[in-house]
Amino acid sequence: MDAPARAGHSSGGMFLLSVPAPEGRLAGAALVSSAPHAGRRRPFADRAAAHPLPALDEAAAAHAREPDDATPR
Mind listing the pLDDT tens digit for each residue in 16-51? 877 776 666 778 888 888 876 667 778 877 888 888
pLDDT given for residue 30 in this prediction: 85
Let me know whether 30 and 43 are in one domain: no
CA distance 36 to 44: 7
Q: Determine the length of the chain.
A: 73
* Collapsed DSSP state (helix, strand, coil) of residue 39: helix
Q: Residues 8, 32: contact at Cβ < 8 Å?
A: yes
* pLDDT single digits (tens) 49-65: 888 877 778 888 888 88
Are 57 and 68 in the same domain?
A: yes
Helices (H), the chain: 11-18, 41-50, 56-65
Mean predicted confidence (pLDDT) in 2-29? 79
Asked if residue 42 and residue 28 are part of one domain, the reply reads: no
69 vs 66, residue with greater confidence: 66
pLDDT for the residue numbered 22: 63
Judgement on whether residues 42 and 72 belong to the same structural domain of the protein = yes
Those residues whose C-beta lies under 8 Å from the C-beta of residue 3, and which sit 6 or more positions away, are: 24, 25, 26, 27
pLDDT higher at 48 or 1: 48
Please indicate, yes or no, whether residues 31 and 41 belong to a single structural domain of this protein. no
